[in-house]
Amino acid sequence: MRRSRSKSTSLDEARLRQQAIGVRLRQMFDEVVSEPVPDEFLQILRKADEKRSGDA
């Protein structure tokens, strides 16, 4: 009885730790998503777009 309880407790703990890691992981990802996009990206895309227009 006692044994099974402690086993389920450690399972719960493991699940909680996994949840905590999952939350952190999403946070790490979302932090970058919410950063403003560096101008460089848009400049590169614009240049590529102009090249296409020039070709046409």
Partner 1 sequence: MALAARSDDADHKRDEAFRRELVGLIPHLRAFARTLCGDPTAADDLAQDAMLKAWDARKSFEMGTNMKAWTFMILRNQFYSEKRRSWRQSQLDQEAAERTLVAVDDPEAPVALDELRQGLGMLPVEQREALILVGAGGFAYEEAAAICECAVGTVKSRVSRARRALQGILESGAYRRDGSAAGEAMASILAAAERLSQAK
Kindly state whether residue 52 participates in binding partner 1, applying the rule CB under 8 A. Answer: yes
Give yes or no for residue 11 binding partner 1 (CB under 8 A). Answer: no
- Which residues in 19-48 contact partner 1 (CB under 8 A)? 21-22, 24-35, 37-38, 40-42, 44-45, 48
Spatial separation of the C-alpha atoms in residues 5 and 2, rounded to whole Å = 5
Closest CA to 18 of 29, 28, 10: 10
Q: Which residues bind partner 1 (CB under 8 A)?
A: 14, 17-18, 21-22, 24-35, 37-38, 40-42, 44-45, 48-49, 52, 56
